[in-house]
A and B are shown apart, each in its own frame.
Chain A
Amino acid sequence: MTSAHGRVTSAPMSTTATFLGMPPFPIAAREALADSQLRGNLRHATHTIRAKRARVAAELDDWEQLRVAGADIKDDVLANMGPYLEQLEESLTRAGASVHWARDGAEANRIVIEIARRHRVQEVVKVKSMATGEIGLNAALEEAGISVWETDLAELIVQLGKDLPSHILVPAIHRNRAEVREIFLREMGKVGMPAEADLSDEPSELAGAARRHLREKFLRAKVAVSGANFAVADTGTLVVVESEGNGRMCLTLPEVLISVVGIEKIVPTWTDLEVFLQLLPRSATGERMNPYTSTWTGVTPGDGPQEVHVVLLDNGRAKVLADAVGRQALRCIRCSACLNVCPVYERVGGHAYGSIYPGPIGSILTPMLRGVGTDESTDALPFASSLCGACYEVCPVLINIPEVLVHLREKVVDSHRGGVPGTLQAAMSAASWTLGGSGRLALLQRVAGLSGRVLGRRGLIGRMPPPLSRWTDARDAPAPPRESFRAWWARTDGDPGRAGSASKTPRKGGEQV
């Protein structure tokens, strides 16, 4: 189903690819790891953004205080979600917007389709939005006979390539320029203005082709769909942060604007944006400010869409809110800094996570939104981490991702309890017996030393039979030294002169305790 690039064939009845049915992380990751081109692209991309972020974050001597304020403001929202939602609804309504509520993705999709149908449109233009990706809006609209035009350059590449996003901020980061050129030449003509036949693979020329291709769609579009980075409760103001101007096109030119907004996107007051409009651009693209930020408050007479809808989306968020440890994930402002510093993401890319939300934040957000214990792919995600903590260090709203990962691992394990003990439980029982008496440990170490001569090559243990293969297939394990520290001490009394050459086992694989 997936190729080495993780490309997925399109679902029936739709030109939109889907994450549904993707293999669980360990399998998808193995495929991705085998693709050296992909690993090269990802390494370059993540290291570039990472360095830029670090540079501009360091420019502000109050960066840490901004992070604390960002976390506190979001925590206030989470603690008072009900009142803030009602306040937002009231402000929006007062400003001339229509407010809709959606319990889940299907309900949100129905609302958007119904509005589009009321205006008898065959097509909508779209601003890049994580929420609409999460609920599969494009596929739902297409099934309803309404074409969707993604207008962000990366989303356009993904859509035309019948591909899936692999990064929150730069979703086509797994594609190189030659692939983009090929997709544009092959696909643009099928859905609108074709790319020029002599198109080169220079990024500026490719961006120019996207500009020409989308311009006619912007100029004629009647209905646009967006998300929102922030929704200000006390004023009813929505905010979209972007770079290309496609967002401004969608938010300004059409007659009707529908914004799908997760209920956690609230900030209480306009003033609170002074924190997030510093944290977000610097954490996301590593710029002091992104090229364009648009804010709008309902309908402005004579300027922009005269019919404005806001769909407030739950889709699992209230469930996350009920999780005392996990709810901090709802602070997330979708900057993707955690992806760019993650050693796991850097090596496997976004597709292996099987969700619109990849990387560390995806490993906690996806299982919590979907719920654990029902599907193998989702349950694998909290384990797709080395718990190194780099994500927590860069998170602009201080989400302790490692803490939530460990918490979710517990929940996954709990949800599978009741059957035969797993490998882990068996191993822990054995460890408990071994460590229960020093004689047992010494005995086992002697056995291990002998077995190391059999199993180890170049100081490493190779492939072991199942179930141990689950460990050894993905990791190099050091072979046990021939002599344990205890045995060496007993023999030499700690005198290096008497150490002799009992052990020639290389030590680089790690000391035995």
Chain B
Amino acid sequence: MTAREEILRRVQSAQVSTPGFSAPELSAQERPSTDTRRGRGIRRDYAHTRDLPDPLALFVERVQDYQATVIRTDPEGVAAAVATSLVGARRVVVPQGFSPSWVPEGIDIVRDEPALSSEDLDEIDAVLTRAVVGIAVTGTIVLDHTEGQGRRALTLVPDLHVCVVTADQIVGDVPEAVTRLSSSVSAGRPLTWISGPSATVDIELIRVSGVHGPRTLRVVLVERPTT
């Protein structure tokens, strides 16, 4: 018998009956409605959207909570905001598909065609990308590594990541983000969810920013949806 057959036989013979076999108790509430959409008997009474008075302001506040900086700008001011965010970086990798009008003058742009080696990337000061979704409640930006975002290594090896997010990309909380991202996942795209710069609490639970990923994250939030 192969390992596959044996494991499948073992889980089959475990004879687990129906879902909810040890249904957890919820105060005195009645058993709430089940998810008929998929009919798996799963209670989904959590919030699927969050009612936020000002999602953009919350997004900014929550990103800043992670010691990342945010510059809010209108579409005309993006290049200037990017220039401010890139201060101190000389060589900047800019992925294919990143809007040229958002790239400030006077920086040394490195292209990833042909693909840079990991060692090459290690010599580069910063990376400039877009994102696909921003999550207000958690202060998270998500990349699906399509146009303007580059392959995953680009936003990992350089020490400074500048990310331009547009207002229409901001959603309330995780469930809304998961819904928006489902087409990327179905298409087989990898995702990177980023909440502030790299961090660790492994020594005495003291939070230290920056271990292996970019030690600095700067977000530019473009307020009016661009076309």
- Chain A residues in contact with chain B, CB under 8 A? 41, 44-45, 48-49, 60-62, 64-69, 71-73, 75-76, 78-82, 85-86, 89, 95, 100-103, 107, 151-154, 157, 170, 172-173, 175-177, 180, 203-204, 206-207, 210-211, 214-215, 218-219, 232, 235, 237, 243-246, 248-249, 251-253, 263, 268-271, 273-275, 277-278, 285, 287-298, 300, 302-304, 312, 314, 318-319, 321-322, 324-325, 327-328, 398, 400
Nearest 7 interchain pairs by C-beta: A245-B213, A318-B10, A245-B212, A293-B193, A244-B211, A154-B202, A289-B138
Q: How far is the CA of A176 from the CA of B205 in the complex (A)?
A: 10
- Residue B30 at the chain A interface, CB threshold 8 Å: no
Contacting pair B138 A288 (CB below 8 A): yes
Given contact pairs A218-B212, A321-B14, A303 touches B152 in the complex (Cβ within 8 A): yes
Q: Which of B7, B21, B200 contacts A153 (CB 8 A)?
A: B200
Contacting pair B153 A271 (CB below 8 A): no
B104 nearest CB across to chain A (Å): 26
Contacting pair B7 A263 (CB below 8 A): yes
A-B contact pairs, 30 of them (CB 8 A): A45-B204, A60-B47, A62-B45, A69-B42, A75-B22, A76-B19, A79-B21, A85-B8, A89-B4, A176-B204, A207-B210, A219-B122, A235-B186, A237-B185, A243-B201, A244-B198, A244-B211, A248-B192, A249-B213, A253-B153, A271-B178, A288-B195, A290-B195, A291-B197, A293-B191, A300-B189, A302-B115, A321-B14, A322-B14, A327-B16
Contacting pair B14 A289 (CB below 8 A): no
Q: How far is the CA of A60 from the CA of B118 in the complex (A)?
A: 40
Q: Give the size category of B's interface with A.
A: 35 or more
- Residue B194 at the chain A interface, CB threshold 8 Å: yes
Q: Which of A82, A95, A328 contacts B8 (CB 8 A)?
A: A82
Q: How far is the CA of A369 from the CA of B201 in the complex (A)?
A: 30
Q: Give the residue among B2, B42, B157 with the most A Cβ atoms within 10 A.
A: B42
A305 nearest CB across to chain B (Å): 10
Q: Which of A180, A291, A325 contacts B199 (CB 8 A)?
A: A291
Contacting pair B152 A252 (CB below 8 A): yes
Contacting pair B151 A302 (CB below 8 A): yes
**Chain B residues with CB below 8 A from A285, complex form:** 201
**Chain B residues with CB below 8 A from A45, complex form:** 204-205
Contacting pair A312 B7 (CB below 8 A): yes
Given contact pairs A65-B46, A102-B3, A243-B199, A318 touches B118 in the complex (Cβ within 8 A): no
Per DSSP, chain B at the interface is: loop
Contacting pair A300 B190 (CB below 8 A): yes
**Chain B residues with CB below 8 A from A297, complex form:** 185, 188-190
**Chain B residues with CB below 8 A from A81, complex form:** 11, 14, 16
Q: Which of B4, B137, B208, B214 contacts A288 (CB 8 A)?
A: B137
Q: How far is the CA of A59 from the CA of B21 in the complex (A)?
A: 30
Q: How far is the CA of A275 from the CA of B12 in the complex (A)?
A: 27
Q: How far is the CA of A75 from the CA of B8 in the complex (A)?
A: 17
Provide the B100-143 mask, 1 if CB < 8 A to any CB of A, else 0.
00000000000000010011001000000000000101111000
A61 nearest CB across to chain B (Å): 8
**Chain A residues with CB below 8 A from B20, complex form:** 72, 75
Contacting pair A300 B41 (CB below 8 A): no
**Chain B residues with CB below 8 A from A64, complex form:** 26
Q: How far is the CA of A177 from the CA of B199 in the complex (A)?
A: 17
**Chain B residues with CB below 8 A from A245, complex form:** 156, 198, 211-214
Contacting pair A277 B45 (CB below 8 A): no
Residues of B1-53 whose CB lies within 8 A of A: 2-4, 6-8, 10-24, 26, 38, 40-48
Given contact pairs A75-B20, A252-B156, A318-B7, A288 touches B62 in the complex (Cβ within 8 A): yes
Q: Which of B2, B47, B119, B205 contacts A170 (CB 8 A)?
A: B205
Given contact pairs A69-B42, A72-B19, A244-B213, A291 touches B66 in the complex (Cβ within 8 A): yes
Number of A-B contacts (CB under 8 A): 271
- Chain B residues in contact with chain A, CB under 8 A? 2-4, 6-8, 10-24, 26, 38, 40-48, 62, 65-66, 115, 118-119, 122, 135, 137-140, 145, 151-153, 156-157, 173-175, 177-179, 182, 185-186, 188-206, 208, 210-214
**Chain A residues with CB below 8 A from B178, complex form:** 270-271, 273-274, 277
B5 nearest CB across to chain A (Å): 9
**Chain B residues with CB below 8 A from A235, complex form:** 185-186
**Chain A residues with CB below 8 A from B199, complex form:** 243-244, 291
**Chain B residues with CB below 8 A from A102, complex form:** 3
**Nearest-CB residue, chain A, relative to B142:** A293
**Nearest-CB residue, chain A, relative to B203:** A203
**Chain B residues with CB below 8 A from A73, complex form:** 40, 42
B82 nearest CB across to chain A (Å): 22
Given contact pairs A248-B213, A263-B7, A277-B174, A180 touches B203 in the complex (Cβ within 8 A): yes
Q: Which of B115, B118, B179 contacts A219 (CB 8 A)?
A: B118
B203 nearest CB across to chain A (Å): 4
Q: How far is the CA of A71 from the CA of B205 in the complex (A)?
A: 29
Given contact pairs A71-B24, A248-B213, A291-B213, A76 touches B188 in the complex (Cβ within 8 A): no
**Nearest-CB residue, chain A, relative to B206:** A203
**Chain A residues with CB below 8 A from B213, complex form:** 244-245, 248-249, 291-292
Contacting pair B19 A75 (CB below 8 A): yes
6 further contact pairs, Cβ within 8 A, besides A82-B12, A288-B65: A218-B118, A237-B185, A252-B153, A318-B7, A318-B10, A319-B10
